[in-house]
Structure 1
Amino acid sequence: MNYRTHIVSSLDEIGQAAWDDLVAAQDKPNPFLSYAFLHALHASGSAAPDAGWQPQFLTLFDGDDLLVAALPLYVKYHSYGEYVFDWAWAEAYERNGLDYYPKLLSAIPFTPVTGPRLLARDATARAALVQVMKKTQKATKVSSLHILYPPESEAKQLEAAGYMLRSGVQFHWINQDYADFDAFLATLETKKRKNIRAERRKVAEAGVLLRRVRGAQATEADWRLFNRCYRHTYAAHHSTPYLNLDFFKRIGATMPDNILLVIAERDGQPIAASLVIHNEDTLFGRYWGELEHVPCLHFEASYYQPLEFCIEHGIKVFEGGAQGEHKMARGFLPTRTWSAHWLAQPAFADAVAHFLERESGGIEQYIDELNDRNPFKG
């Protein structure tokens, strides 16, 4: 089929209805692909050209001007906010007098969550989108193109199209239709179960109370509190936060059904908060911050409260976010993630291919070792 190709610098050029209709046609879309989430990132300035994220979405339209395929794509001038680390590749380019930036990146900014990247209504449109992507990467004279956190099926399609695959590991919790939190604990090894109960007890004995706030009930004060906690924790780690209050207020207003805030209070004063995003079958651990440190409060607000929420609402999977072997002791198991890469410079592409081959073997061994430490009863 003949498609009209258009490079989009703002989702406003597509419109919410057309974008969300395409997203809804994907297998297992998630809230981070929604117009509301992406538009909030752009409009708040969190993922904008001034912040080193220049939107350049690839879109395909049919003869009836129906959006049939799209690729979230950015021109990047740094590697912050990606969670698939290529700093060593950039340094190697620099040592050899070459520019690694700008590069092209297909990802959801600041969001290490697996989900469709080659958005398409059918296999024909998806294949055409891959070809447009390959032509674009060569025509723009960039150093490279990277597609982060596609599902395995898309990763394999990209590999067949000439992209190099890289794998990583995250930790996900699976709801085995537990009746309650105690039923979940009963499936863990004795030591793990006792440790979790001890952690929850420490929080309670410290006089901390927790309340869950659904997005629709979140107030201006709740969002300002969360933003304070979030920024305070980044500052404590000598880092600059990626997101701002405007972003949080925007998603609170436009996608409230996907939001859960957990707010911790002591003596009537808020001291910490976590924010998770969810749909009907998956909950995604996202953001956390504290104004006052209480031992084990992070585990309670970011893991145990959301786990209880999953059990109560029949949510099947809790994706714990990037990295974190400590999650295994809390019932999360290793899950493979994918990314796909193309480098324009042949010598560097060959070197990276050899690196990824060695790294892949290490990932396989790492996953095997993790599975040998399964926290559940035999």
Structure 2
Amino acid sequence: MQVEFHHSIDELKRTEWDALVRDDNPFLKYAFHAALEHHDCVGRKFGWMPCHLVIRDDGRMVGLSPLYIKTNSYGEFVFDHAWADAYQRSGMRYYPKMVCAIPYTPAYGERLLVAPDSDAGQLRREMITATKQLAIESDFSSMHWLFTTREEGALLRSMGMLERLGVQFHWHNQAYEDFDHFLARLTAKRRKNIRQERRKVMDAGVRFRVLHGDEVSDSEWQLFAGFYTKTFEERYSLPTLNAGFFREVGRSLGEQVLLILAYDDAVCIAGALLYRSPSVLYGRHWGALHHYDSLHFETCYYQGIEYAIKHGLQRFEPGAQGEHKIWRGFLPVQTRSYHWIGDPHFSLSIGDFLSRETPAIKDYEKSLLSSSPYRDKSSPE
């Protein structure tokens, strides 16, 4: 076995990388990470320095982790700012740290990718050990695996990593025939509210175009990039993606990229960017020129639900946070991340914090489920 760390994805072959991606997850594919690097969406400017782990067996890539050295906690969606502040108050350095994550993307999936003919358990243990060893040798404060699968999480936990739970809101396709079939599963109040929101957008004369990545023109990507930037700047946040990234990822991933554009007469007024695998739809970014009543809900949620039903997708993950999603058919589900903290005293303190946070997160999820808009109040898990 040979362990390698690569600071540029161009050092690796797309065919080798993608051969280890199961379920055709768009965020794990070579094209997504390459577009980020090629258009300076990651790097020193934004504090995401690539350091991808590769394991080879007799020259063949059999293991892969998307690793990054971080000089901040931006774009991770597992918030450890309080941990960083505690380190600083103690006169210690929290940054740089390492993360195994998809930049700016709170979608869970595999983080320890292995060849299908390998001993997955043993290979993943070696990958975790190699990553931790690099963090120790580089004097990084910590190592974090974000939004992992349950299987990976069980292994990470067994190797002493601290588990942290979170909550997102996902829509699940119950073999719906169309949008009205989905609405029929909801309580009368929620069904009425959704119809009212959709009617407001329709009465405003807004129409929609749904395009896959390879159908979007350069000018349309430029337009969407403006929507994206406007949204971040209005929220006093940092836009890290750009038109070049959107163009490349759209061209490279094709039908796995979905752009929904909204028009008022001939003027494009809003857009939402989504990604898809054969079974899952992922909502990522949106923006608009002006405020239209309920336009955000229609563009980002209802158009996505209609697309998922039409194409037989089983799940729709619209992004992080947002309790308002419950009333529109998205139910709470747990997410998991795992953490190695180098300093033993801080590891104990953070472990104690998590022992108190975890039951609170579980109670929070349970209370959210009591607000389910579905008539049968069932949980998707």
- Assess same fold via TM > 0.5: yes
1:41 is aligned to 2:36: yes
Checking the alignment, whether the CA contact within 8 Å between 1:281 and 1:317 is kept in structure 2 is yes
Aligned equivalents of 1:334 and 1:237: distance in 2? 25
Aligned partner of 1:264 in structure 2 is 262
Aligned partner of 1:51 in structure 2 is 46
Checking the alignment, whether the CA contact within 8 Å between 1:264 and 1:270 is kept in structure 2 is yes
Aligned partner of 1:144 in structure 2 is 142
Aligned partner of 2:247 in structure 1 is 249
Checking the alignment, whether the CA contact within 8 Å between 1:29 and 1:115 is kept in structure 2 is no
1:342 is aligned to 2:362: no
Aligned partner of 2:101 in structure 1 is 107
Aligned equivalents of 2:227 and 2:319: distance in 1? 19
Offset, 1:8: 0.8
Aligned pair partner of 2:68 in 71, 74, 91: 74
Measured against aligned partners, the alpha-carbon deviations of 1:155-199 in whole angstroms (never above 9, x if no partner) come to: 110011111000101111111111110010010000000000000
- Summarize the alignment of residues 282-321 of structure 1 with structure 2, pairs less than 5 Å apart: 282-321=280-319
Checking the alignment, whether the CA contact within 8 Å between 2:257 and 2:274 is kept in structure 1 is yes
Secondary structure of the residue that 2:291 maps to in structure 1? coil
Aligned equivalents of 2:323 and 2:311: distance in 1? 26
Aligned equivalents of 1:89 and 1:267: distance in 2? 50
1:212 is aligned to 2:210: yes
The one-letter code sitting in structure 2 at the alignment partner of 1:152 is R
Which runs of no fewer than 5 residues in structure 1 stay unpaired? none
1:14 is aligned to 2:8: no
The one-letter code sitting in structure 2 at the alignment partner of 1:195 is N
Aligned pair partner of 2:277 in 273, 279, 282: 279
Aligned partner of 2:175 in structure 1 is 177
Q: Give the CA RMSD over aligned residues.
A: 1.0
Which runs of no fewer than 5 residues in structure 2 stay unpaired? 377-381
Aligned partner of 2:328 in structure 1 is 330
Aligned partner of 2:91 in structure 1 is 97
1:84 is aligned to 2:78: yes
The one-letter code sitting in structure 1 at the alignment partner of 2:96 is P
The one-letter code sitting in structure 1 at the alignment partner of 2:76 is E
Aligned equivalents of 1:79 and 1:301: distance in 2? 29
Aligned equivalents of 2:36 and 2:293: distance in 1? 32
Checking the alignment, whether the CA contact within 8 Å between 2:24 and 2:277 is kept in structure 1 is no
- Summarize the alignment of residues 360-375 of structure 1 with structure 2, pairs less than 5 Å apart: 360-375=358-373
TM-score, structure 2 as length reference: 0.96
The one-letter code sitting in structure 2 at the alignment partner of 1:43 is H
Secondary structure of the residue that 2:318 maps to in structure 1? strand
Identity of aligned residues (%): 43
Secondary structure of the residue that 2:127 maps to in structure 1? helix
Checking the alignment, whether the CA contact within 8 Å between 1:148 and 1:338 is kept in structure 2 is yes
Measured against aligned partners, the alpha-carbon deviations of 1:128-160 in whole angstroms (never above 9, x if no partner) come to: 212212222211111001110001111110011
Offset, 1:29: 5.0
Aligned equivalents of 2:309 and 2:45: distance in 1? 41
Offset, 1:85: 0.3
Aligned equivalents of 1:165 and 1:310: distance in 2? 32
The one-letter code sitting in structure 2 at the alignment partner of 1:338 is R
Measured against aligned partners, the alpha-carbon deviations of 1:91-133 in whole angstroms (never above 9, x if no partner) come to: 1111111110000111000000001001112323222212212
Task: Give structure 1 regions of 4+ aligned residues with deviation exceeding 6 angstroms.
Answer: none
Secondary structure of the residue that 2:303 maps to in structure 1? helix
Aligned partner of 1:221 in structure 2 is 219
Offset, 1:212: 1.0
The one-letter code sitting in structure 1 at the alignment partner of 2:335 is T
Aligned equivalents of 2:62 and 2:303: distance in 1? 40
Aligned pair partner of 1:167 in 148, 165, 168: 165
Measured against aligned partners, the alpha-carbon deviations of 1:53-97 in whole angstroms (never above 9, x if no partner) come to: 11111111012x100111111110000000000000011111111
Checking the alignment, whether the CA contact within 8 Å between 1:265 and 1:271 is kept in structure 2 is yes
User: How many residues are paired up?
Assistant: 372
